Structure 1
Amino acid sequence: MKLHLFRNVLPRYFHNKTRLPELDFTKPISDRLRKTSMKEQTYANTNNDDDDESLLKVSLRGQCLFGLYPIEIALKTKHRQFYQLFLSNTSNENRPIIQNIQQLAENLSIPIKYTSTNTLDRLSFDRPHQGVCLDCSPIPTQDIEQTIGIKTTSNKISLDLCLVKIHDPMNLGGIIRTSHFFGIDRIILTRGTCQPSPVASKASSGALELMPIYTCNDLNAYLTSLHKENNTALICAAHQGNTSLRTFRLEDVKKKFSTTNLQRIIVLIGNEHEGISEEIVKMCHYSVCIQPNSDSEISSLNASVACGLFMYHISAQM
């Protein structure tokens, strides 16, 4: 009963007159910031100063991108629309990367606001912002189903990665970072996969800003269309695959498609809990697994780690 009454008297985090933007974060607010916000609201009536640093007066037009490398690369690639740059008023402006971010923002005529670390903590929802946040539009994506018939501009076989229901934005960011490192051409996000949010961009160390991102709402229909084209090899990473990654050879794939001129390879990666449905597995040309040590009591790898092994093994043979 006492707990119920205590909850009723607690001030709400969101101000009645201000609607904060919905951001794709797995944890909307940290316990520390919740307590800080509650204290500020408790003493709000005793403070008559107009505090521009108050969370309730911070308004974002888009998403809050945070972290040095994601913001620097975003400003360089210019794939997003930019609204305002927030910099810590206690940061070391002599750092080359901070100076570069400032210069890029000025060249793009982006308003710059110097603010407290506490405000940056709130803008990034207590994520590691490294003294800089950027109000910007979401990263643009394309519908892969409207790009049937992708042609390569050279004799190089393109290597794409299709993520099936990857729920964790940290995993997504790690996968995108690995994909860029190994030269993957496209990332395809199926329905049920988390959005390419600022959290994913930070986890990718900014690689999200560099990768072509596509979405796929109907994976079955898309794979069916690829079968009709007959120039794309579909490789599924499965828990119970019929081929071990250790023995998988790209030369065997090329021989299978020699008469139809292999142009693309798509590797499908599912999450570590559900994997990929049997229906999708049957639509792939190859079902490949990563076999554990015979003494291992762990049957699967983290999706990001498994993806890294696949990308290295296949890209090294290309």
Structure 2
Amino acid sequence: MYSRLFRNFLPRYFHNKTRLPELDFTKPISDRLRKISLKEQTYTNNNDQQSLLKISLHGQCLFGLYPIELALKRKQRQFYQLFLSNTSNDNRQIIQNIQHLAEQLSIPIKYTNTNTLDRLSFDRPHQGVCLDCSPLPIQDIQQIEIERNSNKIFLDLCLVKIHDPMNLGGIIRTAHFFGIDRIILTHGTCQPSPVASKASSGALELMSIYACNDLNTYLNLLHKQKTIAIICATHHGNIPLRTLRLDDIKRQFSTSNLQRIVVLIGNEHEGISKEITQMCHYNICIQPNIESEISSLNASVACGLFLYHISAQMNT
């Protein structure tokens, strides 16, 4: 009886199955940085005017040498202030390039210590430089007129519910490497954050990024064009990737002249829904070794194989 009464007073914890949350990349994420921040609330160093508690960012904080250098060159963002390490002697040439670009764009430069840069970069490798800037501009893909060029076939990459910003960055780096024309982010895909830009080695700064909030409607729009092939990468596909030939796709669109190919890549956990796969012209799979006990690849790796196979056959 007593044990039953005692149990009634114990706190109860309930686990609710929810969707993945939007990640907050504006606050320190490591225990080490949390401890440092707590200490700084009771101790103030008058010589350190760049304490995190005294820094107010106007936008988001981009970090890493290549993302920042490419962002400054591409000028897709608005720039507010540049933070540089006052102790690092590594990578001097690229840091000098970044300084020169910042001066050309009249961006205020602030020199600070490594701890502050660690906080600004969420305790991720910043390589001695952080940039306060606006988010990348993202347009609605359904508001963009479809470009036509009889001498070239364009290749788009549509990402369906890619949750991990590291995966997103790796995919975008691969997409830029293989000459993808546009990146389309569907509803449920993580935002192109500074973490994704760093994981892409700065390739995110070079790409045209678009949002698609209603994939069904967009695919119906593509079908009406009759010049666009839609390829779905799924482990349930009925066509092995190694047998996919661009010439066969061209023949299918011979009466309307193939202008563009859109490749859909989903995440490893959910893949792409049956409703979406039924709207695609081709459902392609990467077949594993017959003895493999793993049925699917990491989304970034699978994307690399698909884009290499298709882009190698295009415009040659």
TM-score clears 0.5: yes
Give the counterpart of 2:310 among 295, 298, 314.
Answer: 314
Aligned to 2:66: 69
**Deviation, structure 1 residue 40:** 2.0
Q: CA deviation at 1:105?
A: 0.2
The residue type paired with residue 116 of structure 2 is: T
Alignment-derived partner of residue 215 in structure 1: 211
1:8 match = none
| Unmatched tracts of structure 2, length 5 or more | 1-21
- With over 3 angstroms needed to count, the CA separation of the structure-2 counterparts of 1:48 and 1:114, relative to structure 1, is closer
Instruction: Verify the 8 A CA contact 1:189 1:216 in the aligned structure 2.
Output: yes
Separation of aligned partners in 2, 1:220 and 1:36: 48
Q: Give the 5 Å matches for 1:115-130.
A: 115-130=112-127
Aligned to 1:83: 80
Instruction: Find the counterpart in structure 2 of residue 29 from structure 1.
Output: 29
**Contact 1:24–1:197 (CA under 8 A) maintained in structure 2:** no
SS of the residue 1:246 aligns to? helix
| Residue 192 in structure 1 maps to residue 184 in structure 2 | no
After TM superposition, the runs of 4+ consecutive aligned structure 1 residues lying more than 6 A away are none
Q: What do you get for the CA RMSD once the two structures are aligned?
A: 1.7
Letter in 2 for 1:49: N
In 2, the alpha carbon distance for the partners of 1:62 and 1:218 equals: 28
What corresponds to 2:242 in structure 1? 246
CA distance in 2, matches of 1:312, 1:245: 11
Find 2:279's aligned residue among 283, 291, 299.
283
Q: 1:23 to 1:101 in 2, by over 3 A?
A: farther
Residue among 129, 136, 139 paired with 2:136:
139
| CA distance in 2: counterparts of 1:48 and 1:303, whole angstroms | 46
The answer on whether the counterparts of 1:93 and 1:99 sit within 8 Å (CA) in structure 2 is no
After TM superposition, list the pairs within 5 Å mapping 1:31-180 onto structure 2: 31-41=31-41, 43-44=42-43, 47=44, 49=46, 51-92=48-89, 95-148=92-145, 150-153=146-149, 155-180=151-176
1:49, 1:107 → 2: CA distance? 32
Instruction: Go from structure 1 to structure 2 and tell me whether the alpha carbon gap of 1:159 and 1:252 turns closer, same or farther (over 3 Å shift).
Output: same
Identity fraction in percent? 80
Q: CA deviation at 1:35?
A: 1.2
Output the CA distance in 2 between the equivalents of 1:155 and 1:143.
Answer: 26
Amino acid at match of 2:40: E
Cα distance in structure 1, aligned partners of 2:148 and 2:313: 18
Q: Deviations over 1:35-88 (max 9, x none)?
A: 1112222x33xx473741221111100010000000000000111000000000
Q: SS at 2:312's partner residue?
A: helix
Question: How far did 1:94 drift?
Answer: 7.3
Task: Report the Cα offset of residue 279 of structure 1.
Answer: 0.2
Alignment TM-score, normalising by the size of structure 1: 0.89
Aligned residues: 293
1:25 deviates by 3.1
TM-superposed CA distance for 1:229, in Å, is 1.1
CA contact (8 A) 2:183 2:208 kept: yes
Distance, in Å, in 1 between the alignment partners of 2:149 and 2:127 is 39
User: Structure 2: how far apart are the matches of 1:176 and 1:104?
Assistant: 24
- Summarize the Cα distance change of 1:83–1:261 in structure 2 as closer, same or farther, 3 Å threshold: same
1:275, 1:183 → 2: CA distance?
24
Q: Distance in 1 between matches of 2:127 and 2:247?
A: 45
